[in-house]
Amino acid sequence: MKLLIVITHEENAEDLESTFVEKKIHFTKLESKGGFLKQKNSTFLLACKKEQVDPIIELIKNKAKQKEETVSAPLFTGTDVESIMSSSSTVTVTVGGATILVVPLEKLIKI
């Protein structure tokens, strides 16, 4: 068995959740927040058989779309966290899509 940890932008979460329900894919959904942009994400935990991994990844690819967003670039004025300041310069980053971690699942117990 495998454990899929799927981290996606909250804009993709509702479509992804609906697709999982429609396809009868069991999941647990957690609210999360990204470390770089500090935006809301959703993290899905899915346990599945090894042969289900690729089809599930294809479903995710079809629902979790990426887009570009312009954000303020941090300005570093020193070597510690307190030295990070907001800057007037911006940077374009790709957001959305999904990050998928596939890890071995030794045992699944439902009580």
Q: 13-52: per-residue pLDDT in tens? A: 999 999 999 999 999 999 988 766 677 899 999 999 999 9
- Whether 84 shows a pLDDT value over 90: the answer reads no
In a domain, 109, yes or no: no
Considering its fold, how many domains does the chain have in total?
1
Which tens digit of pLDDT belongs to each residue from 87-111? Answer: 567 777 766 789 999 999 999 999 9
pLDDT at 37: 63
Give a yes or no: residue 57 inside a domain: yes
CA distance 27 to 22: 12
**Alpha carbon distance 67, 101 (integer Å):** 21
Query: Sign (positive/negative) of CA torsion 8, 1, 104, 55?
Result: negative
Q: Is residue 42 part of a domain?
A: yes
In a domain, 61, yes or no: yes
Domain containing 16 equals 2-68+95-104
Q: Quick one: pLDDT at residue 52?
A: 98
| Within a domain: 75 | no
97: left (phi over 0), alpha (psi -120 to 50) or beta: left
Q: What DSSP string describes 41-74?
A: EEEEEEEE-GGGHHHHHHHHHHH--EEEEEEEEE
* 45 is a domain residue: yes
Enclosing H/E stretch for 18: helix 10-22
User: Is residue 49 domain-resident?
Assistant: yes
> How far apart (Å, rounded) are the C-alpha atoms in residues 106 and 71?
41
Domain holding 61: CATH number? 3.30.70.120
What integer pLDDT is reported at residue 25 of this predicted model?
Answer: 97
Asked, for residue 6, whether it belongs to a domain, the answer is yes
